[in-house]
Amino acid sequence: MAQYDTIRSVGVGASARIDEGLRAHMNKVYGLMSVAMLVTFGVAWAVGTSDALLSIFRTPTGGMTILGWVAMFAPLAMVFAFGALINRLSAAAAQLFFYVFAAAMGLSIAWIFKAFTGVSVAQTFLVTSIAFAGLSLYGYVTKRDLSGMGTFLMMGLIGLIVASIVNIFLGSGALAFAISVIGLLIFAGLTAFDTQRIKTDYIAHAQSMDQEWLGKSAIMGALNLYLNFINMFMFLLQFLGNRE
C-alpha cells in the first residue's frame, strides 16, 4: 500500500516521527469526535426528555412541526455546506462549525428519548460503541487496501439517502426495514474505510507538516467517523430499541 511505501522512503528517524505524529493525529480525530458525540447526545437528551421543548419539533400525535422538518434536514444541508466551505475556513472556525453541526444533529434525533426507553437507548449506544471500535481498529491495522470500497460505498450511500427521503412520504415498513439493514452495512464498511483513509492521508502529507492542513484534516476525519457512528446507532436502534 502507498502509506508503507512512503514510510520506507524516509529514514528511520523520520519514520519514527511520522508514527508518533500519526498517533497524535488519530488521538485528535477521536477526541474531536468524542466531544461532538457528547454535544449531540447532551442536546438530544435535554430536548427529548422535555415535553415543552420537544413540542417545538413534534406534535402530540408524533408528527413534525415546521421546525421539526427544519431540524431533520438541517444536518444534511450543513454537511454539504461544510464540504464546500472547509477550504475557506480556519481550523478554529471549522471546529466550531463541527460542534454547531453536532448540536443540530442532537435536535434532529431528540425524539428517540421519547420513542424508546432510556435503557434501550443506552444499550444500543454501548453495542454501537463496541462495533465501531472494532471496525475502526480493523481499518487502522489492516494491510489490505480498502480504497476500492470507497466508490461502491458512496454509491450505496447516495441510494440510501434517496430511499430514506422517499420513505418519509411513503411510510413503508418493509422499505424502512431494508433501509436499516443496508444502511447498517454501508456505515459499518465506511467506518473501516474512513479510518484507513484518515491514516493514509496523514502519512501522505506528514513530511510537509502543514499545521493548518493537519487541523482541518483531523476535523474532517472526525466528522466522517462521527457520521458513521450516529448512523450505525440510529439503524441499530430500530432493531434493539424498546419503544415506550
Q: Which region holds residue 144: left if phi is over 0, alpha if psi is between -120 and 50, else beta?
A: beta
**Whole-number Å distance between alpha carbons of 38 and 33:** 9
pLDDT band (50, 70, 90) for residue 14: low
Residue 7 clears pLDDT 50, i.e. is over it = no
Mean pLDDT for 233-239 is: 92
Segment 166-213, tens digit of pLDDT: 887 887 788 888 888 999 999 999 999 999 999 988 887 766 666 777
- How confident is the model at residue 130, as a pLDDT? 96
SS3 state at 64:
strand
Residue 98 clears pLDDT 90, i.e. is over it = yes
Our CA angle for 111, 115, 120, nearest 5°, is 110
Mean pLDDT for 136-148 is: 90
- How confident is the model at residue 15, as a pLDDT? 67
Cell numbers placing 14: 523520520
Query: Is residue 230 a contact partner of residue 112, using CB atoms and an 8 Å limit?
Result: no
- How confident is the model at residue 6, as a pLDDT? 46
Whole-number percent of the chain with pLDDT over 90: 45
- How confident is the model at residue 27, as a pLDDT? 93
**Whole-number Å distance between alpha carbons of 63 and 207:** 53
